Copies of this chain bind each other. A is one copy, B any other.
Amino acid sequence: MNAVLLIQCPDRSGLVAEVTRFLHERGGNIIRLDEHVDQAIDRFFMRVEWQLDNFEIESKEKIKQIFQERIGHKYDMQYEVHFTDYVPRMAVFATKASHCLYEIIYRTQSKSENWNVEIPLVISNRDSLRDNVEPFGIPYHFIPVEKGKKEEAEKKQLELLKEHNIDFIVFARYMQIITDDFIAKFPNKIINIHHSFLPAFIGPKPYHSAYERGVKIIGATGHYVTNELDAGPIIVQNIQHISHKDSVKDLIRKGRQVEKIVISEAIRLHLERKIIVSGNKTIIFD
């Protein structure tokens, strides 16, 4: 079993030395260390993963407490500690399109992908994807979102998420705008796939807009959801070359391929604790 520490704090000299000494002196064998200084804002970021086998602090709570006493509070650090024996619980939201949902379920169940995650439930505002989900033994919850009754629907969703101890949410082409209240409950814990190369073509129907504009490349963006539509911290982007031969339908088809890879990458990075959010940006230690 390993522990992963994600740190950010004002930059100053000696931070790496202090953290690595803290771990080494307690018998923690560092597996991997990454650090970054954002010189524009003078801020330090670090990810360190170490083996817990011979680590002298045995309880998880104690690790956090002692780290806070010895180092955390001294440098005004924001940090998280994760443990690889915990299996995160991911809720997937979808609407009509099945390709991202399918890819996510496949990767979750495929041993060779090695995703450390469970999907306790899929939530959809339509009933039509049920047959894509239930055969895999995953409960499917149909929660319609009627006009003017969004909050009612969200209340039901939140109850389910709580009941199933959900850690984070993936919007696998979930075509509803959610309320700020909902987002506030999962800060940097909702991953969305937007089917354009943000910030181009914010909002619905990006492939139609791309077609209208006559671009030669389309893209997809995996990002955390914030209050501003399609403006949250970007995790992954990728693209696909297109040509005048491609109709809107072709763009949608070619885009699907990029979307499902991008969302899978974003989920993998989240699961492997390789993302630190800084303001509206991400540091990706991959």
Contacts and interface: CB of A to CB of B under 8 A. Distances in A.
A257 interface: yes
A95 to B, nearest CB: 14
Contacts of A13: 24, 27-30
A238 B213 contact: no
A234 interface: yes
Nearest to A252: B112
**Prevailing SS type, chain A contact patch:** mixed
A280 interface: yes
A247 B216 CA distance: 24
Number of copies: 4
A244 interface: yes
Contact of A197 (B40, B200, B252, B261): B200
Nearest to A231: B213
A59 interface: no
Interface stretch (A31-39, A71-79, A85-93, A144-152): A31-39
A256 B112 contact: yes
A39 B29 CA distance: 13
A236 B216 contact: yes
Nearest to A202: B200
A116 interface: no
A98 interface: yes
A113 interface: yes
A106 interface: yes
A237 interface: yes
Contacts of A237: 215-217
A5 interface: no
A40 B247 contact: yes
A17 B50 CA distance: 13
Contacts of A36: 244-245
Nearest to A14: B24
Given A31-B37, A106-B102, A217 B197 contact: yes
A164 interface: no
Given A13-B24, A16-B16, A33-B35, A234 B247 contact: no
A283 interface: yes
Select the residue from A31, A135, A216 with max chain B CB neighbours within 10 A. A216
A238 B253 contact: no
Interface of A: 13-14, 16-17, 20-21, 23-25, 27-40, 97-99, 102, 106, 110, 112-114, 135, 197-201, 213-217, 219, 233-239, 243-245, 247-248, 252-253, 256-257, 261, 264, 280-284, 286
